[in-house]
Amino acid sequence: MSYRPSVENVTKAGSNEKEGLYEFIVKLADGTECRAFYHRFPQWRMTNINRLQKTPCPVCRKDFICNCMESFSGDIGLQIEDGQWIDKALAE
Ligand SMILES: [Zn+2]
C-alpha cells in the first residue's frame, strides 16, 4: 500500500532551452519509468509527471493511464534534487 519510489536514473528526453522547458525520463528501482516535465525558470521545478505505460503501475497495477505518480511527485522531485540528477542528465 505504501509505495515508496526510488529514483535510479534520469535521462533527458527533450528540451526547449529558450523557454526553459525540459522533459526527463525517470527510471525507478522497481522498473517503473516516468516522464517528468520541468520548468527551469526562475528555478527548477517539476510541472508534471506521468508513468510511461511500459509496465503496470506499481501502485494501482493498471497497465493503462492513471495518475498515481502525481501523488509521488514531491518525493520523486526531492530525490531528483538530492541526487543532482538533472545536472547529471544535462551533462550527458
Ligand atoms: Zn496507478
CA of 51 to the centre of ligand 1 (A): 8
DSSP, residue by residue, 16-47? ETTTTEEEEEEEETTS-EEEEEEE-SSS-EEE
23 within 8 A of 77, measured Cβ to Cβ: no
Residue 83 CB: number of other CB atoms within 10 A? 14
The domain spans of the chain are 7-86
**What confidence tens digit (pLDDT) does each residue in 12-61 have?**
999 999 999 999 999 999 999 999 999 999 999 999 999 999 999 999 99
Strands 21-28, 45-51: pairing is unpaired
85: number of CA atoms within 13 Å, CB side? 26
Q: Check residue 92 and give its pLDDT.
A: 82
CA of 60 to the centre of ligand 1 (A): 4
Residues with CB under 5 A from ligand 1 (ion): 57, 59-60, 66, 68
pTM for this prediction: 0.94
